[in-house]
Structure 1
Amino acid sequence: MIRDTSAQDRLVEVKPNRKRLIMIGGGVAVLAVLALVLPQASRLFSADASVSTSRLAFGVVERGLFVRDIAAEGKVVAAVSPTLYATSGGAVTLKVHAGDSVKKDQVLATIVSPELTNKLAQEQSAADAMEVDYKRAQIDARKKRGELQKALDNAQIDQKSAESDLVRYQKAFAQGAVPSRDVDKAKDTLQKAQITTRHATTDLGMDGDSQNFDIESKKLAHDRQVLLVKDLLRQVDDLNVRSPVDGQVGQLFIAERATVAKDAQLLSVIDLSALVVEMKVPESFARDLGIGMGGEITGNGNTWKGLVSAISPEVVNGEVAARLRFDGETPKQLRQNQRLSVRILLDKRDNVLMVQRGSFVDESGGSYAYLVRDGIAEKHPIRVGANSIDKVEILDGLKEGDRIVTSGTDSFKNAARVAISR
């Protein structure tokens, strides 16, 4: 019997080819990565630039209530806060201290001015002398008029006597008692008396006009001097510096017993009954403000209604100063320079398409925005409307739910398409 080789056979374990398996697995992984990367890579290659999302801010277009208001911090200032000045040079004595409550016309300081008081005394003396001259002129005029009236009266009496003599001589001549020579002499005497009467009448009238002019001249000089004295009296009275309003002493600009020049600052007075709130408004919102607009003033746990009372015509550091007065009685607990919150309502509309406000409005002028889709920000024309503190109205170019880049678009370099990377 011939034996086979089965007794010589041995089971051999076939080990897997690990190198081959590794290569297959790596290939599958590469294919998977390529499947994920290739779409994004294609987007990257189609974009003009790539910007990291960490450098950007995004907003979603929504529809709802659009409120335009201005919210800012304001400070309490006095609507009436006069500064008092020295009306004349001299030594100043203060009667009050900073923070003192004062009443209108209360003396706050006095100025000692020897020059002004001496001038007043001199001009008052001159006024008294002119008054004496004026009264003397009146007396002299009456005296002179009396003398002229006396001369006129005497001339009239002489005229009447001459007329009587002429009548008597004419009767006597008619009876042959007197010669014609006496009648002629009586006529001459009467004519002379008539001339004297006419001159006396003329002198009385002309001298009366002259005396009146002289009196009027002295009266005008005296009146002018009286006005000068009154003005000096006012200046001397102004040496007592009085409060123009009821209020509180603000700041003292000089020290006690200081010698100051004319028009030097002395102190300020704050009228606490006429307080307003001053706020700074961005220039872009200032054009929408108007006198009489309503607002809310909040502070000390209270809220008061206010009205815009003044808007500065000047722009300083991109801001415009505005003032609100209280609509009603001024709160008593407020103090000068106290900080308060202010809100002014400009507009309120419902069902408005809007998006979060960002730098894109200023950078593009509101003419375009970068619309984000599938990781690509694409430049898209838009039209914006009104702006609020945190929202901007969209009039055209976007629809509800669109996502746009609101800030950071300056890094896009005005590119048409920008890839947004992680």
Structure 2
Amino acid sequence: MTMPSVRMRIWIGLGILALIGFAWAFSPRAVAVDAAPVSRKDMTVAISDDGVTRVRDVFVLSAPLDGTMTRVEVEPGDFVTEGETVISTIRPLLPPLLPARTTAQLKSTVSSAEAALTAARADADRLRAEHARLERDLDRAKTLLASATVSQQAVDNAEAAERESYLALRSAEAVIGVRRQELAAARAALMPSEAQNGNDAIAVVAPLSGQILSVNRESEGPVSQGTPIVDIGDLNSLECVADFLSEDAVRVKPGDPVLFTDWGGDPLPGRVRRVEPAGFTKISALGIEEQRVNIVMDLDAADDRQSLGHGYRFVANIVVWQGDDRLTVPMSALFRDGADWAVFAIRNGRAEKLTVSVGHTNRTEAEILDGLTETDRVVIHPPRQLEDHAKITVR
């Protein structure tokens, strides 16, 4: 064998190796994917949202009058008894101190009222004496009428004069009562602040039996009528309320099962009691206006209420649909293919894109009505580079 032929064979071999290397470098490689089986299981569809607990009937005890309230001795969580437990006491407001000019004016008013009362009494005494004289004249006229000394007309005139005098006397006595009250009012305006004592205090008593939920005003000091003092309620009447989007709330009906989670303990079962008929607008954390509806729920077990209090947070999971023995795939396996749903099924080491018919869905699973069988496996979280019939390797 000559030297040129050996060199030729070497170059041919190197060329073949280079072609093989290029072919291997640019040949499609298997895509590493995650997979999950298609399985049959019981499936539930639930809607979830945050809510809070609340006592069904909260009574706000308010100050019944303006005054100075003593310190509230009860604390949140204390039990109170209807008509017995004294929450606080309120002393009516003391009259303000009077300046010298006002005091002089009020004293003058008192003197005027005393003089008016004296004048009214004197006028009443005068009318009383006049009435007594007219009564004697009437008696005399009746006696003379019996002996035909005077006429009936004279007797009638005497009776009219006596009646008129009597009414005038009654009016004068009423004026005395008016003047007496005016004098009492004038003297009361001059009454010093020290005239009030501790007996004027009014006790604020619990209107029902229950627990103190919160103390709105604790320290001693002046209060105005209607100022909230404490909130009272019965924790045995605890209920749960959560606001849901209106498009979710229309799927809920009374009696639907609920699971309360994320409250700090094990999940608690419950039931929907009422879906409120009126919605309201609420601004979301992203600044979007949402129409929300309050849904009121109850805990199934009375003992569960002992673990919760008024205003505690939870997550309500309301079951709106349940199905038995449903063919399901993870939601992460589904993707949109135009207007249809599709998945990548693993068959013979390749990813085969299949169009599927989807029924109910929840946050983790989707019900498959058509397109897959129980023996299939599907790709979850399919990468962007994955194409139909591409080679794959399952991680």
TM-score normalised by structure 1 residue count? 0.49
Structure-1 residue corresponding to 2:239: 276
Quote the offset at 1:65 in angstroms. 5.7
Structure-2 residue corresponding to 1:189: 151
1:20 equivalent to 2:3? Answer: no
SS of corresponding position for 1:108: strand
The equivalent position to 2:141 in structure 1, one of 158, 172, 179, is 158
Letter in 2 for 1:334: S
1:400 equivalent to 2:371? Answer: yes
Sequence identity, in percent? 16
- CA distance in structure 2 between the partners assigned to 1:400 and 1:149 by the alignment: 120
1:317 equivalent to 2:317? Answer: no
Alpha carbons 1:152, 1:201 under 8 Å: kept:
no
Alpha carbons 1:386, 1:392 under 8 Å: kept:
yes
Structure-2 residue corresponding to 1:326: 299
Alpha carbons 1:91, 1:259 under 8 Å: kept:
yes
Letter in 1 for 2:153: Q
1:107 equivalent to 2:86? Answer: yes
Q: Could you say what the CA RMSD is over the residues aligned between the two structures, in angstroms?
A: 6.2
- CA distance in structure 2 between the partners assigned to 1:237 and 1:331 by the alignment: 42
More helix by proportion, 1 or 2? Answer: 1
Taking the TM superposition and a 5 Å limit, the aligned residue runs for 1:5-404 are 17-24=9-16, 27=19, 37=28, 67-71=44-48, 76-86=53-63, 87-90=65-68, 92-105=70-83, 106-115=85-94, 155=138, 158-159=141-142, 161-162=144-145, 164-166=146-148, 189-197=151-159, 200=162, 240-252=203-215, 256=219, 258-262=220-224, 266-279=229-242, 281=244, 285-290=248-253, 293-297=256-260, 303-309=268-274, 313-317=280-284, 322-326=295-299, 329=302, 331=304, 333-336=306-309, 342-349=316-323, 368-369=339-340, 371=342, 388-390=362-364, 399-401=370-372
- CA distance in structure 1 between the partners assigned to 2:136 and 2:357 by the alignment: 107
Alpha carbons 1:368, 1:383 under 8 Å: kept:
no
Alpha carbons 2:134, 2:161 under 8 Å: kept:
no
SS of corresponding position for 2:307: coil
Q: Deviations over 1:331-390 (max 9, x none)?
A: 4632426666643222335688987557999xx9x9935635687989x9x998876444
More strand by proportion, 1 or 2? Answer: 2
Alpha carbons 1:70, 1:389 under 8 Å: kept:
no
Letter in 1 for 2:141: D
| Rg larger in structure | 1
Alpha carbons 1:58, 1:406 under 8 Å: kept:
yes
Structure 2: which 5+ runs fail to align? Answer: 98-119, 183-199, 345-349
TM-score normalised by structure 2 residue count? 0.52
1:91–1:339 CA distance, 2 compared to 1 (3 A): closer
Q: Structure 1 stretch 87-96 or stretch 152-161: which is displaced more?
A: 152-161
Alpha carbons 1:79, 1:276 under 8 Å: kept:
yes
Q: Deviations over 1:160-196 (max 9, x none)?
A: 742x444xxxxxxxxxxxxxxxxxxx5x633322443
SS of corresponding position for 2:71: strand
- CA distance in structure 2 between the partners assigned to 1:23 and 1:211 by the alignment: 143
Quote the offset at 1:266 in angstroms. 4.4
- CA distance in structure 2 between the partners assigned to 1:293 and 1:62 by the alignment: 27
Q: How many residues align?
A: 321
Quote the offset at 1:95 in angstroms. 2.1
- CA distance in structure 2 between the partners assigned to 1:244 and 1:406 by the alignment: 62
